[in-house]
Structure 1
Amino acid sequence: MKKLFLISILIIYLIPNQVKAQNDGAAVAAVAGGLLAIGAGIAAVEQMKEQAELTATQWLLTNHPEYTKFSLKTLDFDGKKLKDMSTTSVITFKIRKFDFNGEEPKLGEKTVLFGFTSFGWINEYGIDFDKVKWFLIDSEEWMNMMTAYSKVASSEGNEHIIREALKNGKVVNRGIKGKNGGEDIDFYKIDGDMYLVTDYSPHMKFIYNERSLGIFLKETSDLIQIGRGDIIKIHEFFFDED
């Protein structure tokens, strides 16, 4: 609702003064219609976010009953537009276990739940979760994934150096920025239609493209793309957030 209020104020401010002098009210009606459309889009995305969080929680409770105290939040719905949601190839959730003794919660293990989507996962009825494939990973598995990704994305072949850079540095748009005198690792600059591939596991191949981490799911032959911004958020969640 805050977003809708701010958008409303902005549109009203931008309406030329002469619009007020028009008697037919057409311009005002157009603005009102635009506001309704914006509000409907925001509400629809918010509803899908709540639906996704509920289904992710149900999946976690069903498949990982050891999770008895945890928080679960979507990582990548904020700022999404309704028209962009159908092309989203992965939804991610950050999960944090905690212990609770009746006072302050004591935060524990971090995990990230990936929901890899297939074509048609959003329809007129909302989200079709039969078209979503779930993967739960911890910080160790994320480190393994990012090491393999960084190895194919750069000229650095020493896994120890890559791991140290990932652990102590910061993932940025063009590579890994070392901290406290650590080495920088620059990713290759390649065209948007060029791809570098590595076979990561029996389930996945990783594809480096200048703008994303590509994950090719062998079972379904789906190519999933995780944007560089989401990669940075996930890495910060595992290694920078308290």
Structure 2
Amino acid sequence: MKKITVLLLLALLLVPKAQAQDKGAGIVAAVAGLAAIGGAIVAVEQMKEQAELKATEWVLNYQPEMTSFSLKTLDFDGKKGKDMSATSLITYKIQEFQLAEKPELDGKKFVLFGFTSYGWVNEYGVDFSKVRWMIIDAEEWLNMMAVYVKTASSERDEASIKERLRNGKIVNRGVKERFDTTINFYKMEGDMYTVRNYNDAMKFVYNERTLGIYLKETQNLVQIGRDDIIKIHDFFYGED
């Protein structure tokens, strides 16, 4: 609600006082418009809070060994309500820590994926029964990215791929180590795909600028944007 109040005050400040009496209707329209924007911001914030609550509940139920941890959504910032309804994946960063007077996030890192199905956001709110959860650590992420690189490029030496991933980072055009791109991704058109089996639960589908995860059980194709891949990889291997 604080954000709505700020927006309303901003609307009043933007309209000169000398014009306020003659353009009362304009002020009302401006305030109404900003209030609508503020309402949308609040709605997304509420969805973010709900999503973090459900993710925390999942961790408490299925990861009982975690007794001290931080959990944050990775991909809600800057999104609108209509963007969220079209979102097929929610990503959370999790990191354990040791209890202390001033705890520091220095423990093991995980990423929790929430794979959504059509209709998970509707006029009544968020339906988390349409979300399937999967948690991974740095080693599993490295395995996934090695297969992703095989899907997106002609490189086939898995040991070499993993070594480059540990020392470098994934960028839009491939895998980069320091100043050089050491693995180049295929330059594909938007309607071209390559597919590789990952495990009994999923296949990887590479398309320009995205990684697709095909969930065999639900027969849903979930897309992870390249920016999110970069953020996750940096979380596991790029942060101190």
Which residue of structure 2 aligns with residue 157 of structure 1? 156
SS at match of 1:184: strand
Which residue of structure 2 aligns with residue 89 of structure 1? 88
Cα pair 1:92 1:113 within 8 Å, conserved: yes
Cα pair 2:20 2:27 within 8 Å, conserved: no
Cα deviation, 1:178-207, whole Å, max 9, x if unaligned, reads 12x766211111111111110111000000
Which residue of structure 2 aligns with residue 189 of structure 1? 187
C-alpha distance in structure 2 between counterparts of 1:81 and 1:10, whole Å = 21
Which residue of structure 2 aligns with residue 220 of structure 1? 218
- Offset at 1:29? 2.1
- Amino acid of the structure 2 residue aligned with 1:125: Y
C-alpha distance in structure 2 between counterparts of 1:21 and 1:105, whole Å = 52
Aligned alpha-carbon RMSD (Å): 2.4
Number of equivalences: 240
Cα pair 1:121 1:128 within 8 Å, conserved: yes
C-alpha distance in structure 1 between counterparts of 2:3 and 2:156, whole Å = 46
Q: Identify which of 224, 228, 231 aligns with 1:230.
A: 228
- Offset at 1:104? 3.9
Cα pair 2:4 2:39 within 8 Å, conserved: no
* Moved segments of 4+, more than 3 Å: 1-15, 19-22, 101-106
Which residue of structure 2 aligns with residue 64 of structure 1? 63
Larger displacement relative to structure 2 (24-33 or 70-79): 24-33
Alpha carbons of 1:173 and 1:10: their partners in 2 closer, same or farther (altered >3 Å)? farther
C-alpha distance in structure 1 between counterparts of 2:156 and 2:8, whole Å = 52
C-alpha distance in structure 2 between counterparts of 1:24 and 1:126, whole Å = 37
Alpha carbons of 1:14 and 1:168: their partners in 2 closer, same or farther (altered >3 Å)? farther
- Offset at 1:158? 1.4
Which residue of structure 2 aligns with residue 116 of structure 1? 115
Cα pair 1:171 1:235 within 8 Å, conserved: yes
Cα deviation, 1:80-136, whole Å, max 9, x if unaligned, reads 111111000000100001111334436210000000000000012211010000000
Alpha carbons of 1:152 and 1:8: their partners in 2 closer, same or farther (altered >3 Å)? farther
- TM-score, with length taken from structure 1: 0.90
C-alpha distance in structure 2 between counterparts of 1:206 and 1:169, whole Å = 22
- Offset at 1:13? 8.3
Task: List runs of 5+ in structure 2 lacking aligned partners.
Answer: none
Cα pair 2:4 2:35 within 8 Å, conserved: no
Task: List runs of 5+ in structure 1 lacking aligned partners.
Answer: none
Which residue of structure 2 aligns with residue 200 of structure 1? 198
C-alpha distance in structure 2 between counterparts of 1:185 and 1:229, whole Å = 18
- Amino acid of the structure 2 residue aligned with 1:61: L
- Amino acid of the structure 2 residue aligned with 1:115: G
Which residue of structure 1 aligns with residue 22 of structure 2? 23
Alpha carbons of 1:46 and 1:153: their partners in 2 closer, same or farther (altered >3 Å)? same
SS at match of 2:222: strand
C-alpha distance in structure 1 between counterparts of 2:190 and 2:2, whole Å = 37
